[in-house]
Amino acid sequence: MREIGAFNIDTLFGETRQDYGHVSNKETNFGTATLVSLDKNMIIKNYPVHLSFDWNRNEESAMIVVRDFDRLKGKELVATIGFFDGVHLGHRFLIDEMKEIAKARNLPSAVITFPEHPRAVLHADYQPKLLNSFEEKLQQLETTGVDYCIVLDFTIELSRLSAKEFITSILAKSLHVKTLLIGYDHRFGHDRTDGFEQYVVYGTECGIEVLKASPYDEGNTAVSSSEIRKLLQAGNVAEAAYLLTYPYQLLGHIVSGYKVGRTLGFPTANIRVDEPFKVIPGIGVYAVWVEVEGERYKGMLYIGDRPTLNNGKDISMEVNILDFSGDIYNDSIRVSFVQYVRGDIKFDSLEELKAQLEKDRCTVNNLL
């Protein structure tokens, strides 16, 4: 993503910075960077970064993120529009069809998306449950091979536009869309009263060819962001990964915990998730990949309220990192969910808990 920088650090620190770095693991796209502020007052070495990068694409073909629409002047685009939470199989099917149309017309392809969930803008008390942070969504969109990602701020004013006004003033005049591929069941515009037939008429009036996407059929499996959220909340992370096309991930920081695990021989890193609206998988034990300090490890992750310890009803997330030792408090950590291992159990003693953890570790070792 050329526009936001190799490591997407401008948005992390809120100011322009020089950035240098390398990818230390080509398989996981996980690496470290040295960040240097322009005034040289702060240097952070080996800051962990996760790169979504297609190793077969060169710099010239990387997805360009567009926030300033003046950059689109003089261009004609084939585009599709949506929130694309998760960038799952259904989204990728739509984007692939859009790319084929763009190729046939010898035009660049573009996805138009929003940095915030539209309902969160319209309803202040709405708290969305998301599969991706906005940065993660950009990373996943880049893996589709699309040419442009156009970031359109969803505002109250935008929500009041009719479908005709949106197509005419936004898609045609501002974004220079020449061909628009509409998702099979997608509607837009104030009150969403118009349908595909009306979109075609509005598009024709302002020079946009409007096409309806083919329906995506993955057997009897529903493919939608809401269905994937349900799977995660039920602990079915393997099925969710299949529909997402990648393991579900959480990025966070390591915080202080109860420190009981270390007395049992299973020290854990307690995780505070960075994105408050991300979906948290259901209560239980999971086999996960852990990325910390630029390296990847096997992990045994627990989500629950620790019933054996009687610590109340607060839900915590902690991971025992296999074959790892070191002080990583306050460090960044990423976990990728691979398989549900078991549910939460209240044991009669810490000895029983320790014996089960030994079994869990063997299970995780065999799964990963």
Q: Which residues are catalytic?
A: 318
Query: What does DSSP say about strands 249-255 and 30-37: parallel, antiparallel, or unpaired?
Result: unpaired
Q: What number of other Cβ atoms are within 10 A of residue 256's Cβ?
A: 8
Tokens of 126: 């709405």
Residue 126 in 3-state DSSP? coil
- Region of 109 (left: φ > 0; alpha: ψ -120 to 50; beta: rest) is beta
Distance CA 268, CA 321 (A): 7
Distance CA 361, CA 306 (A): 18
Q: Of 246, 305, 77, whose CA–CA distance to 173 is shortest?
A: 77
> Taking a C-beta distance cutoff of 8 angstroms, is the pair 82, 111 a contact?
yes
DSSP letters along 292-304, please? ETTEEEEEEEEEE
Q: Which residues are CB-neighbours of 32 under 8 A, at least 6 positions away? A: 21, 22, 24, 45, 46, 47, 48, 49, 294
Task: Give the CA distances from residue 11 to residues 67, 246, 341, in Å, rounded to whole numbers and listed in that order.
Answer: 13, 24, 36
